[in-house]
Amino acid sequence: MKYIPILALLSLSTAALAQEIPLDGYLNTQDFKDVTPAPYPGIKPGDILSVRRVWRDIDTNVEANKLFNSSGSKLIEIIIDGIRSDEIIPYSAASTKKNPSGDAFSEPLAKEEAFAKFNEDSVMVPILDKEGNITKYQWKLGEFNPQKVTKFRLKEDWIFDRGRGIYEPRIVGIAPLVRISAIGELIAEQPAFWINFNQARKIMARHPVIFQSDTKLSYDDVFVLRKFSSTIIKESNPEDLKVADYMTSEEDIKKEAARIEASIQDQKQAIWMHQRPAFVAKKPNSKTTPTKQ
């Protein structure tokens, strides 16, 4: 009879082990389900010495950006799910009197309106009058297919915060780009709509980037830590011109984008060098008399 308690304990231990879920591999990966994004450090308005706004495109076909097409965790799917669950609000990308730049968060779209922007191969078709003359053009939309989205546009501000002595970027908005065709030819890639990055951070923080088996990054991490490759397509200017509007050849467009990028990094380096002496310990003066302990 004295063996019964021992057998009972062994039986309970076996049952407990049977209920544990084994790890799929030897790495205990992070659970992103309840993750919340870390807030940005606050910036006092009086500490902002300059703000430089730029727009840049992310091409997910580039090797460095393959993570945006992670199987089971594509960025475009996360955005769509966020809109469906009302966690993300899509805003119109159309240029209007209220929104001349087309990228302000001023005109919310209904879900159906936003999803209609993903109709595959939107085509510009001519509208003819009775005499056969073209009077105007209108878009003819195909079937809903967000999987065709391969590019995203970022709107971001580079801020010089003298309070912390740094020059850093803050992403303001993200827009999936859709293709516009005319007579079978691609004529433009334009934002389907804009979403506010700070609003989208909550849902992005809950989705891991499934690209490498040892990844512990969420989509929020990818954007905040700048784990992507991109090309500048515009910087803020009075005429609101894109680089392609004043540079004609493909080579000149690339050179101008690189020039703007380099100027940002140069300014960042110059600010760092200016602030650096404040953080470097001064060498002791050999003529100074040591203080008695």
Backbone angles phi, psi at 182, to 5 degrees: -140, 125
The answer to the question of residue 282 being in a domain is no
**pLDDT tens digit sequence for 251-280:** 999 999 999 999 999 988 888 776 654 433
Rounded distance between C-alpha atoms, residue 18 and residue 22, angstroms: 9
**Structural domain includes residue 72:** yes
**Does position 51 have pLDDT exceeding 80, yes or no?**
yes
> Is residue 70, in this structure, part of any structural domain at all?
yes
Domain-embedded: residue 152: yes
**Quick one: which H or E segment has residue 244?**
helix 243-246
Full domain range(s) for residue 160? 27-277
- Residue 8 scores a pLDDT above 90: no
Residues 236-248: tens digit of each pLDDT: 999 999 999 999 9
Q: Is the pLDDT of residue 3 over 80?
A: no
Q: Rounded mean pLDDT of 182-207?
A: 88
**pLDDT tens for residues 68-89?**
988 778 999 999 999 999 999 9
How many domains does the chain fold into?
Answer: 1
Query: Is 292 inside a domain boundary?
Result: no
Rg of the chain's alpha carbons, rounded to an integer? 27
Q: Looking at the domain assignment, is residue 84 inside a domain?
A: yes
Mean pLDDT, range 176-186, rounded to an integer: 75
Q: Of 215, 148, 142, 206, nearest to 178 (Cα)?
A: 148
The DSSP 8-state label assigned to residue 264 in this structure reads: H
Highest mean pLDDT, choosing among 45-49, 128-132, 171-175: 171-175
Query: What value does the mean pLDDT take over residues 157-176?
Result: 95
**Which secondary structure element, helix H or strand E, spans residue 12, and what is its range?**
helix 4-19
The predicted structure's pLDDT at residue 280: 39
Residue 281 — pLDDT band, cuts 50, 70, 90? very low
Strand 166-182 with 122-128, pairing: parallel
Q: Which residue has the higher pLDDT, 182 or 26?
A: 182
Instruction: Return the percentage of the chain with pLDDT > 90, whole number.
Output: 53
Instruction: Determine, yes or no, domain membership for 271.
Output: yes
| pLDDT at 290 exceeding the cut of 50 | no
141, 131 contact by CB (below 8 A):
no
Under 8 Å between Cβ of 76 and 176: yes
Stronger pLDDT, 26 or 264, i.e. the higher one = 264
- 73 domain residue, yes or no: yes
Main-chain phi, psi angles of 155, to 5 degrees: -115, 125
Q: What's the sign of the alpha-carbon dihedral 95, 100, 104, 110?
A: negative
Cα–Cα distance between 163 and 42 in angstroms, integer? Answer: 10
Cα 211 from Cα 217, distance rounded (Å): 10
Provide the pLDDT confidence category of residue 17 given band limits of 50, 70 and 90.
very low
